[in-house]
Amino acid sequence: MDDYIALLRRDPPLAAAAIVALVGTLTICGFFFFQYILGYPPCPLCLDQRNAFYATVPLAALLWLGASHGASSKVMLAGFAVITAIMLWNAGLSAFHAGVEWKFWSGPADCSGPINSLGSASDMLKRLQDIRIVRCDEAAWRFLGISLAGYDVLVSLFLAIVAAWGAKASLARRKTSG
């Protein structure tokens, strides 16, 4: 444990990039586990929330590589700023989604509104058999009263804080190096 704390103190940008890459990868594995192993199909808002991880995990991996090979502080600062912004956006989107699940506000019409247009009556039974609608306003799973969207808020905020810490450390290095 002391080795990890020493790494955090010795090279904060490297540690921040590693944390974002690893926790982000575990989050991706988690939502694929819920989808393909446990059988919880994602709603459209869930799919939108995944995009933040698809963007930030490769960027964090590049920052991790850059930090271990002497990348410039400007590059590190810019990369961490982008990750921070994306994760804050995702935390907001996830909070919106959790609010939709708790019925605090209505969600997008395509996944939480009324189902109006099913076509002609003769074709309706066939369409109903082929359609699989996953609603955004119904939490598929909760643990300790928190849905997956709620946990995404927590993970996204954590990663935003870690990335901001990496940006701050990169900025401090930039000031000391000239």
| Residues counted in the chain | 178
Residues 52-107 pLDDT 10s: 999 999 999 999 998 888 878 889 999 999 999 999 999 999 999 888 888 887 77
Give the range with max mean pLDDT: 71-80, 131-140, 142-151. Answer: 71-80
What gap in Å lies between CA 47 and CA 41, rounded to an integer? Answer: 10
Digit-coded pLDDT (tens) for 6-46:
666 778 899 999 999 999 999 999 999 998 998 888 888 88
Could you tell me if 137 and 107 are in contact, meaning their C-beta atoms sit under 8 angstroms apart? yes
At the second CATH level, the architecture of 2-112+119-177 is Up-down Bundle (1.20)
